[in-house]
């Protein structure tokens, strides 16, 4: 028998609507699942069972009044970087371990308006810096497909929670790949929307010109439903775009006829792409071709610089954004009565972990007088060239298809002491962030060791509908998304 916690948003919505299940029953079922597997997976930093049960009761009342909306009564998990009134928001960091925000992020307000249920806050790399969820101050998350392996990162908790059925869907954030790469590692669907599509108000900033919030779901239909719920203009985020939000479920037609899929020459030639990943992606392209898509080789000549550019721009922005954690305004302060300067220094050296310190130092250096022109400014110029590559590419194709990550999920600890290796996990996802483009990762196969492989589909600015259509078509002609991890 299928348990409630195993179902998708749209399946549960139908049950709720027909009064065959209540939100309380669904939420109970999710917590039963959490009790059974969370000890192994560790997807969450904070669980909020009492408030969730109250929210479920309120959702049931709303449903009784005939006011059901697509996310009403659905248990969701939230990356612990999104501010939630009265609920700890740690960013996976000791420096914020007791921070309780007095307000909700806009996306949380939007979900609350529909009476969604919030199960808890998920584990993540500290301040979203990482690709494995191992830099969290609260210990790593296990990949539900193999607990000895990483779930990807930085939104590894949100991805693992969906894969392990510890929630129905979740929110993550993506600065260089942190939704799409963990989605690939955990065999679920993850979308990074166009920069400006979803409000960042209440998202604790890592690199403001790159950060976007997006969903993790069990299938593409659910991804469209969550996108409907969180997208839209917000006057509180000056980078949010005032542009109508389509109904993203409207484009879910299992057909790609007439679409041209660009295959970047440079990406397939990338060293370090696992042969099983390459094969799964080539097989996926054949499925789409069979459904009527045209495949076309394209060129993105500057993408070889994308990772280098990202590791100047993201740390530069982070060094500025993280200056606010000084022991005075937020979070942790070192005990004792040191001088102000000593208090700042000790608070920050005790409060931040090694990866965050590395980024702050890199970013401060790249922005400092004498180096700014050589590093930050040069990186910004190359970023413009990368945007130009995409503009050019989209004159001859509708979507760009690549692997999401170069390898299947690696072992816990394998790359922790080799930051450069870790940084290369995002080689295929970073270019979309630099150019502000939307991208999705969907399951497209498994390695011989039974580990998930993700297919990345990127589109032009605000082309989420085309991306969803292609992803939906692929999902309809394959069964990868139906596989469940062997967790007992
Ligand atoms: N892995 C990349 C980094 O460490 C991307 C992280 C993200 O998207 N938040 O910066």
Q: Does residue 356 line the site of ligand 1, with CB under 6 A?
A: no
Q: Does residue 126 line the site of ligand 1, with CB under 6 A?
A: no
User: Domain coordinates of the chain in residue numbers?
Assistant: 4-255
Q: Does residue 144 line the site of ligand 1, with CB under 6 A?
A: no
Q: Does residue 426 line the site of ligand 1, with CB under 6 A?
A: yes
Q: For this structure, is 154 an active site residue? A: yes
The 75-79 sheet, strands edge to edge = 44-47, 117-122, 75-79, 169-174, 212-217, 189-192, 439-446, 452-459, 399-403, 260-264, 294-298
User: Counting atoms of ligand 1 from 1, which one is nearest the CA of 314?
Assistant: 10
The structure tokens 């799964």 sit at 280
Q: How many whole angstroms from 414 Cα to the centroid of ligand 1?
A: 17
CB 444 within 8 A of CB 454: yes
pLDDT at 330: 85
User: Counting atoms of ligand 1 from 1, which one is nearest the CA of 359?
Assistant: 10
CB 268 within 8 A of CB 279: no
Q: How many whole angstroms from 127 Cα to the centroid of ligand 1?
A: 9
Q: Does residue 212 line the site of ligand 1, with CB under 6 A?
A: no
Q: Does residue 158 line the site of ligand 1, with CB under 6 A?
A: no
Catalytic residue, candidates 93, 155, 178, 425: 178
Helix axes 23-41, 9-17, angle to 10 degrees: 150
Q: Which token pair is 388? A: 């130009």
Pick the CATH number of 4-255 from 3.40.50.1110, 3.40.50.300, 3.90.1300.10, 3.90.1640.30: 3.90.1300.10
CB 217 within 8 A of CB 224: no
Q: Of all protein residues, whose CA lies closest to atom 4 belonging to ligand 1?
A: 130
| Closest by CA position to 487, among listed 113, 40, 30, 72 | 40
| pLDDT tens, per residue, the chain with 488 residues | 899 999 999 999 999 999 999 999 999 999 999 999 999 999 999 999 999 999 999 999 999 999 999 999 999 999 999 999 999 999 999 999 999 999 999 999 999 999 999 999 999 999 999 999 999 999 999 999 999 999 999 999 999 999 999 999 999 999 999 999 999 999 999 999 999 999 999 999 999 999 999 999 999 999 999 999 999 999 999 999 999 999 999 999 989 999 999 999 987 767 789 999 999 999 999 999 999 999 999 999 999 999 999 999 999 999 999 999 999 988 999 999 899 999 999 999 999 999 999 999 999 999 999 999 999 999 999 999 999 999 999 999 999 999 999 999 999 999 998 988 899 899 999 999 999 999 999 999 999 999 999 999 999 999 999 999 999 999 999 999 999 999 86
- Ligand 1 pocket test, pick from 125, 312, 363 with the greatest ligand atom count within 8 Å of Cβ, gives 125
Q: Does residue 177 line the site of ligand 1, with CB under 6 A?
A: yes
CB 110 within 8 A of CB 65: no
pLDDT at 488: 66
Q: How many whole angstroms from 432 Cα to the centroid of ligand 1?
A: 13
* Residues, the chain: 488
| Closest by CA position to 150, among listed 448, 407, 404 | 407
| Closest by CA position to 454, among listed 203, 143, 6, 195 | 143
On the CB side of 385, CA atoms within 13 Å amount to 15
The Cα 251–Cα 113 span in angstroms is 25
What proportions of the chain, in percent to the nearest 5, are helix, strand and coil?
A: 45, 15, 40
User: Counting atoms of ligand 1 from 1, which one is nearest the CA of 175?
Assistant: 8
Q: For this structure, is 378 an active site residue? A: no
Q: How many whole angstroms from 343 Cα to the centroid of ligand 1?
A: 29
User: Counting atoms of ligand 1 from 1, which one is nearest the CA of 311?
Assistant: 10
186-221 burial, b if ≥16 CB within 10 A, otherwise e?
Answer: bbbbbbbbbbbbbbbbbbbbbbbbbbbbbbbbbbbb
The Cα 73–Cα 29 span in angstroms is 13
User: Counting atoms of ligand 1 from 1, which one is nearest the CA of 207?
Assistant: 9
Beta bridge partners of 249: none
Q: Does residue 314 line the site of ligand 1, with CB under 6 A?
A: yes
pLDDT at 339: 96
Catalytic residue, candidates 79, 110, 218, 415: 79
Assign 116 to helix, strand or coil: coil
* Residues whose CB falls within 8 Å of the CB of residue 65, separated by 6 or more in sequence, listed in order: none
Q: Helix count (H) and strand count (E) of the chain? A: 16, 11
Q: How many whole angstroms from 224 Cα to the centroid of ligand 1?
A: 24
Q: Does residue 128 line the site of ligand 1, with CB under 6 A?
A: yes
Q: How many whole angstroms from 71 Cα to the centroid of ligand 1?
A: 28
- CA max distance for the chain: 70
DSSP string spanning 326-348?
SSSSSS---SS---HHHHHHHHH
CB 157 within 8 A of CB 44: yes
| Closest by CA position to 126, among listed 100, 156, 105 | 156
pLDDT at 420: 87
Bond before 202 cis per omega within 30 degrees: no
Q: For this structure, is 178 an active site residue? A: yes
The structure's pTM equals 0.98
Beta strands in 100-211 (DSSP E): 117-122, 169-174, 189-192
Q: How many whole angstroms from 363 Cα to the centroid of ligand 1?
A: 14
Q: Does residue 222 line the site of ligand 1, with CB under 6 A?
A: no
Q: Does residue 131 line the site of ligand 1, with CB under 6 A?
A: yes
CB 264 within 8 A of CB 298: yes
Q: How many whole angstroms from 355 Cα to the centroid of ligand 1?
A: 11
Beta bridge partners of 213: 173
Q: How many whole angstroms from 51 Cα to the centroid of ligand 1?
A: 31
């Amino acid at each position: 028998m299928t348990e409630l916690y195993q179902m998708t948003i749209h399946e549960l919505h139908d049950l709720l609507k027909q009064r065959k299940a209540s939100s309380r029953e669904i939420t109970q079922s999710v917590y039963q699942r959490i009790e059974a597997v969370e000890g192994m997976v560790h997807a969450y930093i904070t669980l909020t069972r009492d408030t969730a049960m109250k929210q479920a009761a309120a959702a049931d009342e709303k449903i009784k009044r005939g006011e059901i909306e697509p996310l009403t009564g659905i248990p969701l998990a939230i990356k612990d970087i999104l501010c939630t009134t009265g609920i700890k928001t740690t960013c996976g960091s000791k420096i914020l371990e007791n921070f309780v925000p007095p307000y909700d992020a806009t996306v949380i307000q939007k979900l609350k308006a529909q009476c969604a249920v919030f199960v808890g806050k998920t584990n993540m790399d500290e301040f979203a810096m990482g690709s494995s969820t191992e830099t969290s101050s609260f210990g790593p998350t296990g990949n539900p497909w193999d607990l000895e392996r990483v779930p990807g990162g930085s939104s590894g908790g949100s991805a693992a929670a969906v894969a392990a059925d510890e929630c129905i869907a979740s929110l993550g954030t993506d600065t260089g790949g942190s939704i799409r790469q963990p989605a690939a590692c955990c065999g679920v669907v993850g979308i990074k929307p166009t920069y400006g599509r979803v409000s960042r108000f209440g998202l604790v900033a890592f690199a403001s010109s790159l950060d976007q919030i997006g969903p993790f779901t069990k299938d593409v239909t659910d991804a469209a439903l969550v996108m409907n719920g969180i997208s839209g203009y917000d006057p509180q985020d000056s980078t949010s775009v005032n542009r109508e939000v389509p109904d993203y479920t409207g484009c879910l037609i299992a057909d790609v006829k007439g679409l041209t899929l660009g295959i970047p020459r440079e990406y397939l030639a990338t060293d370090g792409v696992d042969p099983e990943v390459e094969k799964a992606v080539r097989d996926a392209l054949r499925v789409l071709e069979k459904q009527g898509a045209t495949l076309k080789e394209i060129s993105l000549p500057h993408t070889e610089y994308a990772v280098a550019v990202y590791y100047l721009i993201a740390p530069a922005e982070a060094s500025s954004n993280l200056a606010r954690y000084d022991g005075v305004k937020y979070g942790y302060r070192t005990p004792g009565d040191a001088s102000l300067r000593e208090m700042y220094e000790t608070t920050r050296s005790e409060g931040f972990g090694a990866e965050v310190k590395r980024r702050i130092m890199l970013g401060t250096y790249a922005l400092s007088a004498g180096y700014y022109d050589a590093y930050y400014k040069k990186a910004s110029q190359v970023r413009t060239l990368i945007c130009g590559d995409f503009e050019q590419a989209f004159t001859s194709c509708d979507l760009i298809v690549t692997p999401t990550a170069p390898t299947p999920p690696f072992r816990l600890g394998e790359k922790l002491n080799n930051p450069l290796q870790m940084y290369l996990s995002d080689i295929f996802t970073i270019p979309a962030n630099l150019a502000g483009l939307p991208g999705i990762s969907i399951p497209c196969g498994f390695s011989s060791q039974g580990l998930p492989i993700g297919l990345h589909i990127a589109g032009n600015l605000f082309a989420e509908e085309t991306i969803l259509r292609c992803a939906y078509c692929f999902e309809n002609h394959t069964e990868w998304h139906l596989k469940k991890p062997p967790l007992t």
